[in-house]
């Protein structure tokens, strides 16, 4: 069975407060895009994860894909499987690639072995793997609250625009992302911002991580500025970075030259 785990972008991201458990409450809108990895699951005489592009970093059991398999294996006595994963979504990009791979593993195992697990139950399993994993079970525009695991569908339509995505050649750690973050309740919520016309988003729809990340990684801020220079209606860093996306009325034609050495993805929404 072959599946295509897709990436997501964050439309706005407000960090509201620090919780007693050390995590932060936030609000954001997860939006699925077409950029995807390739995932193939088949029965095998032993359970293994085969990476078609990169070597597996660290212990295989720490990989979210294998963790997803183990969750269902324990409950449904699954046979051994071989999972082939071809990474296309860049890592450390704020695009949810690893979370998507894990959630699609749950979806694929459910289908392959006719487990008849409901979407609601799959969501519960996904939430055990990571805060944004549950989103990929639904894979539609969703308002994420709490640590990103409390999801509500939102009526959002930005089709017919073009999306350009750039991943600069840098890595943003979780420590970098949260350093100097100042939680606060915004005057306008993310969901209220996106109810306004898209050209207004530039003034009101923010990603709070930019305040702490841009001073440390000016190359990321430069990508955002270039998006606007090339005609973006709205541009933002996705999640905690390092990727930046721009939304355009027309397909941008100059970005390939501007970002010849970085990862670049363009699609029609």
What gap in Å lies between CA 122 and CA 105, rounded to an integer?
11
Note whether 121 and 27 are within 8 A (CB): no
Answer yes or no: 8 catalytic: yes
What gap in Å lies between CA 127 and CA 130, rounded to an integer?
5
Among residues 37, 132, 176, 208, the one annotated as catalytic is 132
- Classify 211 as helix, strand or coil: helix
* Residue 106, token pair as written in the block: 């749950």
Among residues 8, 167, 206, 224, the one annotated as catalytic is 8
* Residue 219, token pair as written in the block: 């190359």
Closest of 1, 85, 106 to residue 38, by C-alpha: 85
What gap in Å lies between CA 16 and CA 129, rounded to an integer?
23
Q: Residue for token digits 């970093």?
A: 57
What gap in Å lies between CA 137 and CA 127, rounded to an integer?
10
Q: Residue for token digits 């407000």?
A: 14
Element containing residue 22 per DSSP (H, E): none
Answer yes or no: 132 catalytic: yes
119-129 and 97-112 helices, crossing angle to 10°: 140
- Classify 193 as helix, strand or coil: helix
Catalytic residues: 8, 132
């Amino acid at each position: 069975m072959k599946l295509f785990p897709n990436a997501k972008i964050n439309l706005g991201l407000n960090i509201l407060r620090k919780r007693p458990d050390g995590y932060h409450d936030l609000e954001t809108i997860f939006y699925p895009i077409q950029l995807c990895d390739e995932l193939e699951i088949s029965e095998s005489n032993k359970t293994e994860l085969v990476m078609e592009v990169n070597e597996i970093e660290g212990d295989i059991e720490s990989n979210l894909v294998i963790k997803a398999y183990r969750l269902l294996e324990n409950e449904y006595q699954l046979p051994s499987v071989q999972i082939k994963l071809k990474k296309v979504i860049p890592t450390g990009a704020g695009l949810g690639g690893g979370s998507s791979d894990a959630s699609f593993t749950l979806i694929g195992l459910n289908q392959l072995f006719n487990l008849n697990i409901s979407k609601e139950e799959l969501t519960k399993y996904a939430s055990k793997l990571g805060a944004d994993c549950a989103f990929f079970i639904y894979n539609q525009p969703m308002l994420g609250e709490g640590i990103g695991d409390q999801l509500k569908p939102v009526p959002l339509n930005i089709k017919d625009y073009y999306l350009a995505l750039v991943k600069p050649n840098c890595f943003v750690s979780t420590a970098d992302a949260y350093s100097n973050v100042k939680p606060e309740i915004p005057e306008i919520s993310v969901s209220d911002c996106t109810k306004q016309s898209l050209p207004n988003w530039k003034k009101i729809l923010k990603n709070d991580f930019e305040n702490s990340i841009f001073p440390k990684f000016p190359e990321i801020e430069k990508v955002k500025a270039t998006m606007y220079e090339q005609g973006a209606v709205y541009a933002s860093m996705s999640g905690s970075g390092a990727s930046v996306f721009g939304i355009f009325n027309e397909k941008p034609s100059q970005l390939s030259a501007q970002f010849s050495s970085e990862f670049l993805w363009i699609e029609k929404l």
